[in-house]
Amino acid sequence: MFVPLSEGDGPEQGSEKWFKKRKHKMTGSKPSSIMFECKDEDSYHKMWNQIFGYAERDKFNEAQQKLVDWGKEREDEACETFYKNLPGTIVYETSIIDHPVYHWIAASPDGYVVRVEVDENNIPVRYDGKLKVIERANLEIKCPASQYYPDCYKMAKELIKKKSPPYYYMAQLHFEMVALGVKTTYFYMWTPWYSKLWKINFDMAYWIQTVDVLNAFRKKSLSWPILKSKLDVWINTSQAIANKYKTHEEYKTINDEVWEEEVKKEMKKPDRPRIDKVPIFIWYNHESVNIIKSLYGKSNT
């Protein structure tokens, strides 16, 4: 079940008001950009000005924009697949949430998950007329491999290869867990035919390290070499945490017959070239025959 934003819950994600509230804040998606783009002192100052100053972010090229648009357009479909596969799950839409202490931090989770107890028929159980909540969690959705669309089988294969969640999302997930006051994230990666779910737990030591590194980034209180070393250690920690997690659930949304047909196509060996279409010897042509005749006389073949 999905519950949309109510009036007064804050601006809808992607709206003009939402973008305005994100200005001059370290939001959940920005730490991954820092991990990839902050490589030297010049790129550090550029990124600082884009996050906390007034510099404009680099515009996406056509290919990058397609990836972003794909995620936006398919997120509702992915969310529906998620909650239908977890009985008793309610997903509440969220807006941007400011950190109550660190004014420079904010996050926009894809959903606030509330799970209730259900019976063997997946019907919610009521006690004295009330539902029993068994879990509260954060939801983050990613829709990868869109560059292969409409080849949904190839998209699924790319996602199947992922054994652990990508490390560069670990900081974002912690931003969102803190924003919602929960200790768990359902990290869901979706493609049209296949999706994968990880269950990530809040790590206090990692959160402290993340805030420390990003606050040093914000305050410009360290020389670039020292800040770079802190960033590198933080990235290594992110990788170590991500690698601890194995797939929690995986779902195939295409019927087995269609899937097996694609597997057969993939396994089928290409046809060998016909002998009558391709010469046995690449040098066997009209010119070479004339040369042989002139040297050895007329051939009987």
Judge whether residue 280 has pLDDT over 80: no
In a domain, 298, yes or no: no
pLDDT at 68: 80
Phi and psi angles of residue 95, each rounded to the nearest 5 degrees, phi first? -110, -165
Residue 265, pLDDT score: 87
Instruction: Determine the pLDDT at residue 237.
Output: 98
**Residue 201: helix, strand or coil by DSSP?**
strand
Q: Does residue 280 sit within a domain?
A: no
Grade residue 289 by pLDDT with cuts at 50, 70 and 90: low
Mean pLDDT for all residues in the chain: 90
The pLDDT score that the predictor gives to residue 75 is 93
Q: Residues 213-248: pLDDT tens digits?
A: 999 999 999 999 999 999 999 999 999 999 999 999
pLDDT at 51: 95
Tell me how many degrees the CA angle 98-104-109 measures, rounded to the nearest 5: 40
Domain-located, residue 296: no
**Rg over CA atoms, the chain:** 27
Which structural domain, as residue segments, surrounds residue 227?
Answer: 2-267
Which strands, in side-by-side order, build the sheet including 97-98?
Answer: 26-27, 105-107, 97-98
Q: Is 290 inside any structural domain?
A: no
Q: Would you say 172 and 210 are in contact if contact means Cβ atoms under 8 Å apart? A: no
Q: Is residue 49 domain-resident?
A: yes
Looking at residue 140, what is its pLDDT? 97
Q: Looking at residue 82, which CATH number applies to its domain?
A: 3.90.320.10
Examine the pLDDT at 165 and tell me if it is beyond 60.
yes
Q: What is the pTM of this model?
A: 0.85
Residue 26 has pLDDT above 90, yes or no: yes
- pLDDT on residue 184: 98
What does the pLDDT read at residue 266? Answer: 84
The confidence score (pLDDT) of residue 7 equals 81
The count of structural domains within the chain is 1
pLDDT at 112: 97
Q: Is residue 45 part of a domain?
A: yes
- Say if residue 21's pLDDT is above 70: yes
Half-sphere exposure (CA, 13 Å, Cβ side) for 229? 4
Residue 283 lies in a domain: no
- 56 confidence band (pLDDT: 50, 70, 90): confident
**Strand 2-3 relative to strand 89-92, pairing:** parallel
Average pLDDT over residues 87-107: 95
Tell me the H-state helices in 121-184.
152-160, 170-180
Burial profile 204-226: b = 16 or more Cβ within 10 angstroms, e = fewer: eebeebbbebbeebbeeeeeeee
- Please write the tens of the pLDDT for every residue from 115-163: 999 999 989 999 999 999 999 999 999 999 888 888 999 999 999 999 9
Band of pLDDT at residue 104, cut at 50, 70 and 90: very high
289 belongs to a structural domain: no
Percent of the chain with pLDDT over 90: 75
* pLDDT reading at 281 higher than 70: no
Residue 16: how many other CB atoms lie within 10 Å: 8
pLDDT value at position 279? 52
